Chain A
Amino acid sequence: MESEAAAGRAQDGAPQRHRSGLVLGIDTGGTYTDGVLLDYYSRRVLASHKSLTTRRDFAIGIESVIEGIHIQDPSAVKMVSISTTLATNAIAEGKGKRVALFLVGYDPELIASFKMENHFATPHYYYFAGGHDLYGREKAELDLQGILAQVGQLRGKVEAIAVSSYFSPLNPEHENRVYQAVSRISDLPVVLGHQLSTKLGSVERATTAALNASLLAVLQDFIIAVRRAMERRRIDAPLMVVRGDGTLMSDEFAARTPVETIHSGPAASAIGGRFLSELDEALVIDVGGTTTDIALIEGGQVTVSEEGATVGGYNTAVSAANLLSIALGGDSHITLGREQVIAVGPERVMPLAQLAQQHPEVRKQLLTLRQRPRGHVTLDWLEYWYLLRGPGEAIDRWTAQEKALVEFLGDGPRPLPEILKHLKLLHAAQIGAQELLRQEIIGKAGLTPTDLMHVEGKYSQWDAEAAAAALDVFAGSQYQDPASLCQLIWSQVNEMIVHAVVTFLSGKRFDLPRRRAGGQQLSGSVSPPAGAGAEDEDIGRWFFYNSLYSAHPHLETQIRLRQPIVGIGAAASVMLSEAARALYTDLILPEHYQVANALGAIAGSVMVVEELLVYPRLSDSGLEVLGYYVQASDQRQEFEEMDDALAQARALSEERALGGAIRSGADSPQVEVEVLSDGLDSFRVRAKAMGSPRLMD
């Protein structure tokens, strides 16, 4: 779609700097795949490109981005880095591989009494005897025979195995033994809880292990696909993958710990925002097509959530950027819900302006629709369904209704009422097209904020007149004039964004009442929706709306954001300027802000964390401390004195983190060692090695 200057190597004979290196950053978002080519040392953006994300096979979108960037000399590319929503989507949509989770030493009754079974992210979980106590002592003998028998029974039923043993970070012996034994009788990948998290939360660790196991093949296929795309474009360079906290890991690492890529997309945007704005304190808001993501930059770093990342309703032990994502974007579907309440999102559709551009008959239909008398047109006429791609071989497995629908859409997009009439149905819910939508065989189009931007002349990529016609129809059906309706919708969008900022930063929650389309008396400015203050006893909500609209005759309130907002994404300038005004702060839109997410994929640092545990060894009676253990994932040492144990833990974790970072491609990494107390004379010694990616010559 857009492609700026093609890239070339600096040709001057006497460069001031010998170091030159092009790096390619790619972000596969929910709607778009963005790519950017950067001269790493001068930080100059040489080219960028956007293409549609192809969820059925991410590699297609990635290849078209690489193609769109027109890299003249592929050998000049020294690194490719990629952020992806693949893991997040696979979990949210339940598309990971089938996993058996072996819980060693877990108490089934305890798990059941807290109804924790649903937290494990797989229905195939099995309990076995074994595990350790909180001093790392064996609680019960490991039931290895039972485990091996279970593996035999599971043959062909699962694609990966996850193992979590009770208190395994303190003593991974049982997990390691299960690994040794299972991998000798089965070719399935085996994931161990203690290798993913040293935190002691047994349920989160099990969930993390199960999710990681379910994602192994998904991410491996993805990395192979990206590598293949690079190979076809003759790019021979190290491949990095962005973690959920915005740092980078090598592709080898990512293939083993795919669970760490959860939330890597939003984290990359935040890093990109910081990179472009060069601000050390800012709120980064990325307005995409599907979602708006908010993250905070403090002291030049993206803030990381203390609790583990949550995804698809599962709590994990994986570190991820502290961020809030709301289902609001430029392509959010604007609809009328029950009681005439306007909703923007959560569904993402193709803007009507775009559909009309591609299909002249849609434009014609919309212009005709505008001529019909008010109140005679339902809003269903503004929802179009269209065919995205050919049916392929899978057609045999479809229902008759699915086939009829695809055939009907074969001639071009159709509005919903025509589809219902053709299929002899009364309501859209009866169509049952979820599977076709998910596989991207058919798509939906409708009125979106992007259409409003076309009507208002803020955007001119597609058919503005068709968008205007659609808006007229929408407004007419509610006996409103289009300009007021627009204002109402923008107020709704603005409230959602400000609400997200306030709840994200304050950590306090309150609901946002939805506003009705009709019955608003508009006189120049928009007022709070009915039920948002006056008779309400909720002072928080009153404060929110009063600050937004200065509604009260006597009391003036304000919510002021101390940091500036850095806007990212194509729709950021339109959708965030009002929010910045409402929060009394500046909106900064750095150059190339549309592709900050892709830049973020290359602007991050390579990081490797090594965590060791130090805890006391108790006598059998539990009353006497006999010494201290230093526990690493693969070895344990014992010391008489706590200080010696801590010193050894520091040295060992530092050495390992440093070695890991260098192997992962960090350039002269710096190591920080932290000692955190876990109480009861137990310590977590964490070495974090970070460095810029090393560009190969």
Chain B
Amino acid sequence: MELVNVGTQRACGLIREKIVTLELAPGAPINEQELAEELEMALAPVREALKLLAYDGLVVITPRHGLYVAEANLSDLEQVSEMRLALEALCARLAAQRATSDDLAVLEALRQEQAQRAAGIEKATAEATRGLFDLDHKFHQAVARAAQNRYLADTLERYYGLSLRLWYLALPHLGFLPSAVEEHLGLVDAIKSGDADRAEQIMRRHVGDFYDNVRGALPAEGE
């Protein structure tokens, strides 16, 4: 049984949530002591967690100016999107070539769940959109698993967190994209039938659309 440091893991999850949902704004300084008190946790796990988040690119640690939340701006968006476009597409291609029957069962279950949820949502509340994004995240993770490449999955996981934060920045101007559900349907079919080219193509478009939408909704650089 794998041993995890409960404190560090918990602190990491809580702080990540704060950063991604912009409760800790991009560029804001972080005071470890205050953060620990706010979370009612010891300093040590909070410190460890911040180091992990720095590795994930959500926190910046500087020798002189201490800690702060990483900036998020259009140039980040461009860089992250380039990376994700290439890797997610590769991921979809590999998944179509390598997915096991267990992987397919998981993808199918997620797709159905998503269709049900999307249909059940009458109003695009933040809560409902959040739930759909959570499912979207799981879907991308499942495709990454189906690609049977641990390093690829780990890398994509890091970029997903950065993407989610960008989406939160754009949120006031943007909802969840209903077309995403249909795209997932097409993607599952392509992976099932082992059509690597089509899977790659659908994924590239799917991720590309996401960034186009976010880009359009984000405030212009340098405001």
A104 vs chain B, min Cβ distance (A):
14
A253→B3 contact, CB < 8 A: yes
Pull 5 A–B residue pairs with CB atoms less than 8 Å apart, ordered by A: A144-B102, A148-B108, A223-B6, A252-B6, A257-B1
In the bound complex, what is the Cα–Cα distance between A236 and B36 (angstroms)?
Answer: 13
Instruction: Decide if B138 is an interface residue (CB 8 Å cutoff).
Output: yes
The chain B residue with its CB closest to the CB of A196 is: B1
The chain B residue with its CB closest to the CB of A255 is: B6
Scoring B residues 117 to 135 as 1 if CB is less than 8 Å from chain A, else 0, what string do you get?
0000000000000000000
The chain B residue with its CB closest to the CB of A231 is: B42
The chain B residue with its CB closest to the CB of A664 is: B3
**Interfacial chain B residues near A151, Cβ < 8 Å:** 109
Which bucket holds chain A's interface residue count?
A: 20 to 34
Instruction: Decide if B142 is an interface residue (CB 8 Å cutoff).
Output: yes
Query: Pick the contact of A231 from B4, B41, B141 — CB < 8 Å?
Result: B41
Query: Pick the contact of A144 from B6, B105, B110 — CB < 8 Å?
Result: B105
Known: A181-B109, A184-B138, A224-B10; 16 extra A-B contacts, CB below 8 A, are A144-B101, A144-B105, A145-B105, A152-B109, A177-B102, A184-B141, A185-B109, A185-B113, A185-B142, A195-B1, A227-B41, A231-B42, A252-B3, A252-B5, A256-B1, A257-B1
Instruction: Decide if A491 is an interface residue (CB 8 Å cutoff).
Output: no
Instruction: Decide if A400 is an interface residue (CB 8 Å cutoff).
Output: no
Query: Pick the contact of B3 from A195, A230, A663 — CB < 8 Å?
Result: A663
In the bound complex, what is the Cα–Cα distance between A309 and B185 (angstroms)?
Answer: 49
The chain B residue with its CB closest to the CB of A224 is: B10
A184→B106 contact, CB < 8 A: yes
**Interfacial chain B residues near A220, Cβ < 8 Å:** 6
In the bound complex, what is the Cα–Cα distance between A145 and B107 (angstroms)?
Answer: 11
Instruction: Decide if B112 is an interface residue (CB 8 Å cutoff).
Output: yes
A181→B5 contact, CB < 8 A: no
A231→B40 contact, CB < 8 A: yes
B1→A181 contact, CB < 8 A: no
Query: Pick the contact of A185 from B5, B10, B44, B138 — CB < 8 Å?
Result: B138
Given contacts A224-B10, A252-B5, contact A152 B112 (CB under 8 A): yes
Within 8 A of A (CB), among B87-119: 101-102, 105-106, 108-110, 112-113
Instruction: Decide if A394 is an interface residue (CB 8 Å cutoff).
Output: no
B42→A227 contact, CB < 8 A: yes
In the bound complex, what is the Cα–Cα distance between A259 and B112 (angstroms)?
Answer: 35
Instruction: Decide if A245 is an interface residue (CB 8 Å cutoff).
Output: no
In the bound complex, what is the Cα–Cα distance between A232 and B36 (angstroms)?
Answer: 11
B7→A185 contact, CB < 8 A: no
Instruction: Decide if A633 is an interface residue (CB 8 Å cutoff).
Output: yes
Instruction: Decide if B145 is an interface residue (CB 8 Å cutoff).
Output: yes
Query: Pick the contact of A252 from B4, B41, B108 — CB < 8 Å?
Result: B4
User: Which secondary structure characterizes the binding site on chain B?
Assistant: helix
A86 vs chain B, min Cβ distance (A):
16
Instruction: Decide if A34 is an interface residue (CB 8 Å cutoff).
Output: no
A71 vs chain B, min Cβ distance (A):
16
Scoring A residues 124 to 151 as 1 if CB is less than 8 Å from chain B, else 0, what string do you get?
0000000000000000000011001101
A448 vs chain B, min Cβ distance (A):
39
Instruction: Decide if A228 is an interface residue (CB 8 Å cutoff).
Output: yes
A228→B40 contact, CB < 8 A: yes
**Interfacial chain A residues near B106, Cβ < 8 Å:** 148, 181, 184-185
The chain A residue with its CB closest to the CB of B101 is: A144
Query: Pick the contact of B105 from A181, A195, A252 — CB < 8 Å?
Result: A181
**Interfacial chain B residues near A663, Cβ < 8 Å:** 3
Scoring B residues 154 to 180 as 1 if CB is less than 8 Å from chain A, else 0, what string do you get?
000000000000000000000000000
A690 vs chain B, min Cβ distance (A):
17
Within 8 A of B (CB), among A144-165: 144-145, 148-149, 151-152
In the bound complex, what is the Cα–Cα distance between A148 and B110 (angstroms)?
Answer: 9
Query: Pick the contact of B145 from A148, A184, A224 — CB < 8 Å?
Result: A184
Q: Which one of B43, B109, B138 has the greatest number of beta carbons of chain A within 10 Å?
A: B109
Query: Pick the contact of B142 from A144, A177, A184, A224 — CB < 8 Å?
Result: A184
In the bound complex, what is the Cα–Cα distance between A148 and B102 (angstroms)?
Answer: 10
A148→B105 contact, CB < 8 A: yes
B130 vs chain A, min Cβ distance (A):
13
The chain A residue with its CB closest to the CB of B44 is: A236
B37 vs chain A, min Cβ distance (A):
9
In the bound complex, what is the Cα–Cα distance between A412 and B167 (angstroms)?
Answer: 59
**Interfacial chain B residues near A251, Cβ < 8 Å:** 6
The chain B residue with its CB closest to the CB of A148 is: B109
Given contacts A144-B105, A252-B6, A253-B3, contact A185 B42 (CB under 8 A): no
Scoring A residues 658 to 680 as 1 if CB is less than 8 Å from chain B, else 0, what string do you get?
00100110000000000000000
Instruction: Decide if A42 is an interface residue (CB 8 Å cutoff).
Output: no
Within 8 A of B (CB), among A379-414: none
**Interfacial chain A residues near B113, Cβ < 8 Å:** 152, 185
A624 vs chain B, min Cβ distance (A):
30
The chain A residue with its CB closest to the CB of B134 is: A187
**Interfacial chain A residues near B44, Cβ < 8 Å:** 236
**Interfacial chain B residues near A180, Cβ < 8 Å:** 102, 145
In the bound complex, what is the Cα–Cα distance between A257 and B2 (angstroms)?
Answer: 11
Query: Pick the contact of B110 from A185, A224, A252, A253 — CB < 8 Å?
Result: A185
A174 vs chain B, min Cβ distance (A):
11
B116 vs chain A, min Cβ distance (A):
8
A-B pairs, 7 with minimum CB distance: A148-B109, A144-B105, A184-B106, A228-B40, A181-B106, A184-B142, A231-B42
